[in-house]
Amino acid sequence: MYFDFEKLDSILSEHKPTPGSLIGILEDIQEEFRFLPEEALVLISSRIGVPASRVFSVATFYNAFSLIPKGRHVVSVCLGTACHVRGAGDILAHLRKQMNVNSSGTTPDLQFTIEDVRCLGCCSIAPVLKVDDEVYGHTNPDKARDILEGYKKQEAGEA
Half-sphere exposure of 44 toward its Cβ, with a 13 Å CA cutoff? 31
Q: In the structure, what pLDDT confidence band is assigned to residue 2 with cuts at 50, 70 and 90? A: low
Q: CATH assignment of 5-61?
A: 1.10.10
What ranges do the domains of the chain cover? 5-61, 73-156
Tens of pLDDT, residue by residue over 45-100, are 999 999 999 999 999 998 889 998 889 999 999 999 999 999 999 999 999 999 98
> CA-based angle 119:153:114, to the nearest 5?
30
pTM for this model (two decimals): 0.78
What's the CATH superfamily of 73-156? Glutaredoxin (3.40.30.10)
pLDDT, average across residues 7-23: 93
Listed residue (76, 151, 159) closest to 121, CA to CA: 76
